[in-house]
Amino acid sequence: RVFMNMKKIFLCVLIFCVVLSFGFAEDNGKDEYFPTAIGFNSHASMGGAQSMGLTYQHWFKNDLGYQFSFGAIMDYDFVYALDVQLQKLLFVHKQQGKGLTSLFAWGGVGVSSTDVYVDTGDSYGYEVKPAILASAGLGIEFIYFNHLSIPLKFGVTGQFLNNPSVAVSFGCGILYRF
């Protein structure tokens, strides 16, 4: 039942992105779109997989690009994430005096730490173990003042090795584009 609701949410977001993309095709602002960005990115799925950290992104002239994200947190346990994405820029729309908006497709792989429930008979609890992530989806990026970028990503993420799952995912970030 939960999986069916997640599929409906993902389908609605996908339809919303496709409808938005038709408006982007009319006014192309690619000549004002800076190809490189650095900043912070976070991505989480409803299945519990997540990655976050410092991000570097670069677009090539053929509208293909890549993004690397790396993060680590030392709290109760050591939590880490490394994510690599291949991206395809679909449209760049120039808004009237307000900045740029872009639509892009992405696919990625990563490694992260995840909490795994352990029951040894005498005791139980959670252990931090590695997980491999694979994900794909669409993203919308809002660019203000020619440099401030706020990307929003919607997709599906699969988690493997420990606590295997496939779930709808959402990502956001803040980047400086140059």
Q: What is the pLDDT along the chain (178 residues), one digit of tens a residue?
A: 545 565 666 666 666 665 555 454 444 667 788 999 999 998 888 776 777 889 999 999 999 999 999 997 655 667 788 999 999 999 888 877 678 999 999 999 998 877 677 777 777 777 777 888 899 999 999 999 889 999 999 999 888 887 788 889 999 999 999 9
What is the C-alpha to C-alpha distance for residues 37 and 10, in angstroms, rounded to an integer? 27
What is the C-alpha to C-alpha distance for residues 35 and 124, in angstroms, rounded to an integer? 49
What is the C-alpha to C-alpha distance for residues 109 and 132, in angstroms, rounded to an integer? 7
Question: According to the model, what pLDDT value does residue 11 have?
Answer: 63
DSSP 77: S
Question: According to the model, what pLDDT value does residue 171 have?
Answer: 92
Rg (CA), the chain: 18
User: For the whole model, what pTM was predicted?
Assistant: 0.77
Q: Cα separations (Å) of 95 from 26, 32, 98, 174? A: 11, 11, 5, 19
Let me know if 83 is exposed, middle or buried by CB neighbors in 10 A (0-12, 13-18, 19+).
buried
Question: According to the model, what pLDDT value does residue 129 have?
Answer: 77
What is the C-alpha to C-alpha distance for residues 55 and 25, in angstroms, rounded to an integer? 28
Contacts of residue 127, defined as CB under 8 A and 6 or more positions apart, other chains included, come to: 115, 116, 118
Question: According to the model, what pLDDT value does residue 172 have?
Answer: 94
Residue type, 114: T
H helical segments located in 36-88:
none
Question: According to the model, what pLDDT value does residue 65 have?
Answer: 96
